[in-house]
Amino acid sequence: MTRVVVVGDLMTDAVARARYPLARASDTPAVVTMHGGGSGANIASWLAVEGAEVAFIGRRGADITGRNRDMELMGYGVDARLVMDPERPTGTCVVLVTHKGERTMLSDPGANAALSPEDLPRDLFAQGGHLHLSGYTLINEGSREAGLAALEMAGRAGMTVSVDCASSAPLERTGAEPFLEWTQNAKLLFANADQAKVLTGRDDPAAAAKVLTAWFPQVVIKLNDEGSLWYSNSRSEPVRASAESVERVVDGTGAGDAFTAGFLPAWLEGKPPAESLAAGNRLAARAIAHLGARPRL
């Protein structure tokens, strides 16, 4: 099985689920729970529990939270290559979930913002491996050079490369043109419908995917409860897969990361796009059925 190297963000998610409509400038009863997070670390965790050989490259603070996140990754079976930052804390994301299930995220990247090219272990960049780069690494100006260096090292080593678009609002602030320029040598792009619109200006996900094949040989668009689609620059029509039914949506945090982790192993094994999409949808359905963005052990 192909070893997957994930370069990305490591966070602690403080998830606050409101029981009632938010009372502005007042109190709203909520259930607050703490979980391991960070898109890159989430993807690595899901990959590991699904049996993939995976290494995660990131940065954490010299704090108890960072130590806990490090041990958590190892518990999933991830080869965690975390550099300890002596000054910055481990990143934190406050996930506010309304009583209707809508999510708003407030993120402090902490040590993630200081990831540097020197933090990238050279032994992990080898022919036959696959690099998945979290879009947050490129969108954050402090870690951007590390992201670009990882792409260059993977290219020199002959690794296959996939990237994701992180989140629509910071992607829009960064700009479509720079992001596409940085990532154009990747073989596979993951985006959701909002992110695809930011990159192309197209409302229709299939139309956006077709535009994006001018930069990427293959594009996957995540469509939430409508499933997902795959487009290639060698096809005239997309391949679609329906979402798996879920009895109750508990928490959508990290569902897109789980999808990526479900899709990649099947794709790397050369399975048909429909089968790879179905594997991604299956893992996404598992993710939204419990609290937090990581797998349950």
**Residues 233/213, Cβ–Cβ less than 8 Å:** yes
Q: What local confidence, expressed as pLDDT, does residue 253 receive?
A: 82
Indicate whether 32 belongs to any domain: no
3-state secondary structure of 267: helix
Indicate whether 106 belongs to any domain: no
Q: Encode pLDDT of 129-142 as tens digits.
A: 999 999 999 999 99
Q: Encode pLDDT of 35-49 as tens digits.
A: 999 999 999 999 999
pLDDT at 150 over 80: yes
Q: Which residue has the tokens 């794709």?
A: 267
**Number of domains comprising the chain:** 1
Higher pLDDT, 37 or 252: 37
Span 156-165, average pLDDT: 98
pLDDT at 170 over 80: yes
Indicate whether 24 belongs to any domain: no
Look up the CATH number of the domain holding residue 204. 3.40.1190.20
Indicate whether 207 belongs to any domain: yes
Indicate whether 99 belongs to any domain: no
pLDDT at 30 over 90: yes
pLDDT at 197 over 90: yes
Q: Encode pLDDT of 218-242 as tens digits.
A: 999 999 999 999 999 888 799 999 9
Indicate whether 101 belongs to any domain: no
Q: What local confidence, expressed as pLDDT, does residue 75 receive?
A: 96
Q: What local confidence, expressed as pLDDT, does residue 290 receive?
A: 85
Indicate whether 200 belongs to any domain: yes
Q: Encode pLDDT of 64-114 as tens digits.
A: 999 999 999 999 999 999 999 999 999 999 989 888 878 888 999 999 999
Span 184-199, average pLDDT: 97
Binning pLDDT at 50, 70 and 90, where does residue 278 land?
very high
Q: What local confidence, expressed as pLDDT, does residue 184 receive?
A: 92
Indicate whether 15 belongs to any domain: no
The residue range of the domain holding 132 is 4-10+38-88+112-287
pLDDT at 212 over 90: yes
Span 174-192, average pLDDT: 97
pTM metric for this prediction? 0.95
Q: What local confidence, expressed as pLDDT, does residue 125 receive?
A: 98
